Amino acid sequence: MNYYWNWGIFWQVSPDAAHTYLQTLLLGTAWTLATALVAWILALTLGSLVGVMRTTPHPWLVRIGNAYVELFRNVPLLVQMFLWYFVLPELVPRGIGTWLKQLPDASFYTAVVALGFYTSARVAEQVRAGITSLPSGQRLAALALGLTLPQAYRYVLLPMAYRIILPPLTSEFLNVIKNSAVALTIGLMELTARARSMQEFSFQVFEAFTAATLIYIAINIAVTFAMRRTERRVAVPGYIGMAPPATAE
């Protein structure tokens, strides 16, 4: 391979004249993590809500929940990002649209919302699976004891369901981190985007991508490790341990 390797490139100053290339990559990592974390909170909240809706005895709530999941699962994430970023500001009243377009860090907020809604559909699937995996006696017993339906979810069903679905939720969290790279298409300067721009300015393609890959792997290992510990701590006594965590969908 006649490629000129230059690993010293990371200590050279990048075109923004303030940071070295390594620092720009670390800044990108911070954006990746910030986007993923906020999107994850949104996804967990919305996803739990929709997942619960789909297990209630009300057929209309179930239908709305199902439609929600189908809608967000069957459109590619990239297209959803474009819809939030380019299309939404045109469809709302002019004043709000202009405000949305001029928002500082608009691409960050858009990425969070797009990623949050996209992931919420997947979380909703997991939450529903977790609740339906419980013996139906648990719900019936809770209701027979005089708990209202919300109380039955709050005190009986959800605490069990979350502990059961922790491994697939870990995979979904890892997916959010990876999927945040799609936000580079709307101008978010996260890790992949920084590696790409480092490649454009320094021509050191493989060094830049190697560094980004290593950072992603490190994040992956850290999250997997932390979640395994959590899984062990919250494992439901009496259940056949947790399935080994898969790292993706």
Partner 1 sequence: MFSNFDFDIIIRSLPYLFYDGMTFTLTLTALATLGGIVFGTALALMRLSGLAPLSILAAGYVNLMRSVPLVLMIFWFYFLVPYLGQWLTAASQPIRVGPFTSSLVTFMVFEAAYFCEIMRAGIQSIPRGQVWAAQALGMRYPTTMLYIVLPQAFRNMVPVLLTQTIILFQDTSLVYVLSITDFLGAASKIAQRDGRLVEMYLFAALVYFVISLAASHCVRLLQRRIAIVR
C-beta of 52 vs 211, nearer to partner 1:
211
Only one residue has tokens 């393609």, namely: 205
Taking the C-alpha atoms of residue 183 and residue 190, their distance in angstroms, rounded to an integer, is: 8
Q: Tell me: does residue 216 bind partner 1 (CB under 8 A).
A: yes
| Burial degree of 202 (CB within 10 A; 0-12, 13-18, 19+) | middle
109 binds partner 1 (CB under 8 A): no
Q: Measured from the CB atom, is 54 or 196 closer to partner 1?
A: 196
Does residue 21 interact with partner 1 by CB under 8 A? no
List the x/- string, 112-151, binding to partner 1 by CB under 8 A.
----------------------------------------
Among 29, 80, 107, 120, binds partner 1 (CB under 8 A): 80
Instruction: Specify which residues 13 forms β-bridges with.
Output: 20
By C-alpha distance, which of 249, 72, 47, 36 is closest to 161?
Answer: 47
Q: Hunting for tokens 């995996």 — which residue is that?
A: 133
Instruction: Please identify which residue in 57, 74, 104, 244 interacts with partner 1, judged by CB under 8 A.
Output: 74
Binders of partner 1 in range 155-214 (CB under 8 A): 174, 178-182, 184-185, 192, 195-196, 199, 205-206, 209, 212-213
Taking the least distance from each CB to partner 1, the nearer of 109 and 209 is 209
Among 49, 83, 143, 149, contact with partner 1 (rule: CB under 8 A): 83
**Residues 43-72 interacting with partner 1 (rule: CB under 8 A):** 70-71
How many of the chain's residues bind partner 1 (CB under 8 A)? 44
Which of 86/99 has CB closer to partner 1? 86
Which string of DSSP letters, residue by residue, matches the chain? Answer: ------GGGGGSBPTTSSSBHHHHHHHHHHHHHHHHHHHHHHHHHHHHHHHHHTTSS-HHHHHHHHHHHHHHHSS-HHHHHHIIIIIHHHHS-HHHHHHHHH-TTHHHHHHHHHHHHHHHHHHHHHHHHHHHTS-HHHHHHHHHTT--HHHIIIIIIHHHHHHHTHHHHHHHHHHHHHHGGGGGGGT---HHHHHHHHHHHH--HHHHHHHHHHHHHHHHHHHHHHHHHHHHHHPPTTS--PPPPPS--
Residue 90 makes contact with partner 1 by CB under 8 A:
yes
Question: Does residue 240 interact with partner 1 by CB under 8 A?
Answer: no
CB of 127 to partner 1, least distance (A): 19
Closer residue to partner 1 (CB): 48 or 204: 204
Q: How far is the CB of 248 from partner 1 (least distance, A)?
A: 5
Interface ranges with partner 1 (CB under 8 A): 1-3, 70-71, 73-80, 82-83, 86-87, 90-91, 174, 178-182, 184-185, 192, 195-196, 199, 205-206, 209, 212-213, 216-217, 220-221, 246-249
